[in-house]
Amino acid sequence: MQDITGVKQPFGGKIMVLGVDLRQVLPVFKKGTRAQIVDSSLRMSPLWIVIKKMRLTVNMRARTDLWFSDFLLRVGDGEEEVIDGSFIRIPDDMTIPYNNGAKSKEDLISAIFPSMDVDGNSPGYIISRAILSTKNDNVDEINDKLIGVFCGEEQIYYSFDEAEDDVNKYYPIEFLNSLNVSGLPPHCLLLKVGCLIILLRNIDPWNGLCNGTRLICKGFQRNVIDAEIAAGQHAGKRVFLPRIPLCPSENDMYPFKLKRKQFPVYLSFVMTINKAQGQTIPNVGVYLPEPVFSHGQLYVALSRGTSRENVKVLVRPTQDFSRSGVYTANVVYREVLQDA
């Protein structure tokens, strides 16, 4: 806009309406220090600097619960009362008591997915619910449990894996098949008609097939998945998802380059907090067997829901506190939110 208008004010002096939330997780900076992560985030996002200089007041998504909105803003800004450095109290009515691991997880699943065996095939039911967690291992565990009780025609797709440039065949196929890599679908992809999946790659952004798009499986063929886009401006559109070659985004993860040919989708009953960023999900469960580890993660997890009553949090206690209640860490880099 500055180039078009010749005016050097932000956006060329024109009034702009922006839908943006500064309280988000930061771009991943592998093995970076706090200072490196903050610096990288600001350098990668010049619009972020402009918005902060304009001192925009960010409005939360429409909510009838003003207390919930205020609580989320305090969490996102790092202004919620803390004890022992970074731990904040989760309101009692939003928590699932942690008694033992298996029973508590069942309670969380029942709170977010009640009557799964009866209502699971209803699109409105399935797209309005999700459980969020910090790590892929936690996500896989609960996804496997939920797809097991989900009713529908089952289909298993196996990937074709290879180690590129492995001319001496040091890495057997069985070893490559056993690898579960962040950002890649599993070797054994178990799906059912009516289940919810999330896209892991940009396939056709113009038609709504972007990384993070949620879809409902409608049918299975040998080399394509028949699916329907579940939310957004393209909701209801039927699409065919192909099997494509995929490689890990981190090239130094292994001493070889893994290439996996598989459908670029993943079950999304449960998602990582980072993957859920930008989604609006009426009924949200947050599973924290360990505290969050990145700036803004707790805020993003809690703010995916639309009301206090429909957000449930299960925290595995990592230490004892003198006060009663459920506490978990809230990681906020205040320097990211300060005016530049």
Q: DSSP assignment, residue 21?
A: -
Question: Looking at the chain, how many residues does it have?
Answer: 340
Q: Which long-range contacts (CB under 8 A, 24 or more apart) does 289-292 make?
A: 289/101, 289/133, 289/134, 289/138, 289/316, 290/134, 290/135, 290/316, 290/318, 291/134, 291/318, 291/328, 291/329, 291/331, 292/134, 292/328, 292/329, 292/330, 292/331
Q: Judge contact between 100 and 107, C-beta under 8 A.
A: no
pLDDT at 268: 92
How many other C-beta atoms lie within 10 A of the C-beta of residue 57?
5
pLDDT at 56: 38
**Sheet hosting strand 214-220, strand order edge to edge:** 238-242, 224-229, 214-220, 196-199, 265-267
Residue with tokens 């192909």: 242
Q: Up-side HSE of residue 188: CA atoms within 13 Å toward CB?
A: 6
DSSP secondary structure string for all residues of 161-219: EEEET-TT--S-HHHHHT---TTS--SEEEEETT-EEEE-S-SBGGGTB-TT-EEEEEE
Distance between CA atoms of residues 17 and 19, nearest Å: 7
Distance of CA 58 to the CA centre of its chain: 21
Give the residue among 99, 105, 98 at the shortest CA–CA distance from 326. 98
pLDDT at 42: 59
pLDDT at 277: 85
Distance between CA atoms of residues 215 and 245, nearest Å: 20
pLDDT at 142: 93
Domain extents for the chain?
A: 2-97+274-337, 152-268
Parallel, antiparallel or unpaired: strands 244-246 and 257-262? antiparallel
Distance between CA atoms of residues 218 and 327, nearest Å: 41
Distance between CA atoms of residues 257 and 167, nearest Å: 12
Distance of CA 197 to the CA centre of its chain: 12
Task: Say whether 260 sits in a helix, a strand or coil.
Answer: strand
Distance of CA 299 to the CA centre of its chain: 12
As beta bridge partners, residue 214 has: 198
Write down the pTM of the prediction. 0.83
Each residue's pLDDT expressed in tens, for the chain with a length of 340 residues:
889 999 988 888 888 776 656 567 766 666 667 776 666 665 555 555 454 444 434 445 445 568 888 898 899 888 899 888 889 999 999 999 998 778 999 999 999 999 887 887 888 899 999 999 999 899 999 999 999 989 888 999 999 999 988 888 889 999 999 998 888 999 999 999 999 999 999 999 999 999 989 999 999 999 999 999 998 889 999 999 999 999 887 655 788 889 999 999 999 999 999 888 888 899 999 999 999 988 889 999 999 988 889 999 999 988 888 888 999 999 888 777 664 4
